Amino acid sequence: MIKEFALDPAVPAQSFKDCRYFLDALRIENGRVLSRFPKTWQRMVYETALALHNGKMELSRIEARLAGMPKCALFSCSRPSGDPNAPWLARAIAEQSHSPFAAIITNVADPNLPFVLAADDVDTSPLFQAVGQREIPRTSQEIVACVGLLLRVAKVIKLIDPYFRASSPRWRRGLQKLIEIVSTGALIEIHREDGGELPANVRSWFDGPVQRVLKPGVVVKIFLHPKAKMHNRYILTDQGGASFGTGLDDHEDGDEGITGDDDVTLLNEEQRSTKWRKYESAEQPFLVLRSPDHE
C-alpha cells in the first residue's frame, strides 16, 4: 500500500513548481514516501538549486520549502548512500539492484530501465500510481502488509485497539506477523481499554501468548486506558501510521458477527503526530514483556 520512491535532487531543484509538486505528491497519505537517499538529499537539492537560481527569488522559495519539510517527510530506510563521487542516478540504480525502490524519478527516463521515470511523465506511469485508502480482506497478512514498509524500519510501534487480546488467535496472528518483520531493538506498545477486569486475567491475555511469538531484541509494553477514551483503531510508527475502521483482529476463523473486510486509511503527519501524543503516557505500562533470550 505504501511505495518508496527515489527522487533525483536535480528534479525539485529545477523550479519551485517542481519542488512543491513532488514534495506534495510523495507523502504517506498519498501512498508514497520520499526516500532519504542519500542522507544528504536535502543539501543536494539546495546546492543544485543554488547553482541554477543563485540570486533569484526562485532559490529562496525552494530553500523555504525544503526547510519546512516535516521530520517524517524523508523516509529513512537505512540505505547505504553509495559512492559519493558517483552521479546520483548511478548510485540510485546500484541501490535498486539489491533493495528496489518502487521507481527512480529523474529528469530523463532510460528506455532500457523501466523503473527509471522521467519527472514529466510520472502521472501516466503505473509505477507512480498509489492510494492512501483502500479496502482489504481482514487477514493477518493484509493487516500487517498495509504498513509493512513502516514496520520494517520503525523504532517504536503503537498498536491501538480497545479490545486487543493476544490470547485470542484473531489478534495474535497479526501480532506474530508484525513481530517477524520489525527490526531488532524495536519497541511495540499495545494500547487497549481497561474494562475493570482482574489484573491477573489481563496479564494472562498477554504474558504467555506474547512470549510465544516474541523474538530476541524486541520489547512489548501493554498500556491500559479508560474505556471512554478509546474507540478508533490504529497502527502508528515513528515514521507514519494508518487507521483501521474495524479493528486489528483478523477474520481468518470466519467468526459470525465480525466483518470480513476493513477500510484502511494512511494518516498524514499531523494526524499521526496527534494520535501519537494522545498515546504517550507518563504512566508506567501495565506489563513489559521481553524474550527470554533478551540481553
The mean predicted confidence, pLDDT, of the chain is 94
Query: Predicted confidence band at 70 (pLDDT cuts at 50, 70, 90)?
Result: confident
The answer to whether the beta carbons of residues 268 and 72 sit under 8 Å apart is no
pLDDT band of 293, cuts 50, 70, 90: low
Residue 68 CA to residue 55 CA, distance in Å, equals 21
Over range 80-93, report the average pLDDT.
Answer: 89
Q: How far apart are CA 219 and CA 217, in angstroms?
A: 7
Q: Phi, psi at residue 80, to the nearest 5°?
A: -65, 150
For residue range 20-66, what is the model confidence (pLDDT) as tens digits? 999 999 999 999 999 999 999 999 999 999 999 999 999 999 999 99
pLDDT at 212: 92
Beta bridge partners of 266: 242
For residue range 139-186, list pLDDT tens digits in order.
Answer: 999 999 999 999 999 999 999 999 999 999 999 999 999 999 999 999
pLDDT of residue 258: 78
Give the per-residue pLDDT at 254: 87
Between CA 226 and CA 14 the distance in angstroms is: 52
- Give the long-range contacts of residues 54-63, CB within 8 A, separation 24 or more: 58/15, 58/16, 61/16, 61/19, 62/12, 62/13, 62/15, 62/16, 62/19
State the average pLDDT over residues 214-221: 96
In this prediction, what percent of the chain has a pLDDT beyond 90?
A: 85
pLDDT confidence of residue 67: 95
Burial class (CB in 10 A: 0-12, 13-18, 19+), 203: middle
- pLDDT for residue 87 is more than 70: yes
Ranges 74-88, 117-131, 148-162, 240-254: which has the least confidence: 74-88
* DSSP string computed for 238-255: TTEEEEESS-SS--TT--
The pLDDT assigned to 121 comes to 95
> What domains are defined for the chain?
3-128 (3.40.50), 133-290 (3.30.870.10)
Q: Could you give the CA distance from residue 218 to residue 184 in angstroms, rounded to a whole number?
A: 6
Indicate whether 228 pLDDT > 70.
Answer: yes
pLDDT interval class at 270 (50, 70, 90)? very high
Q: Grade residue 229 by pLDDT with cuts at 50, 70 and 90.
A: confident
* pLDDT the model gives residue 230: 81
- Mean pLDDT over 8-24 rounds to 97
What is the band of 227 on the pLDDT scale with cuts at 50, 70, 90? confident
Three-state SS for 260-277 is CEEEEEECCHHHHHHHHH
- pLDDT-derived band at 75, boundaries 50, 70, 90: very high
Size of the chain, expressed as the number of residues it contains: 295
98 Cβ contact list (under 8 Å, min separation 6): none
Give the pLDDT of residue 282: 66
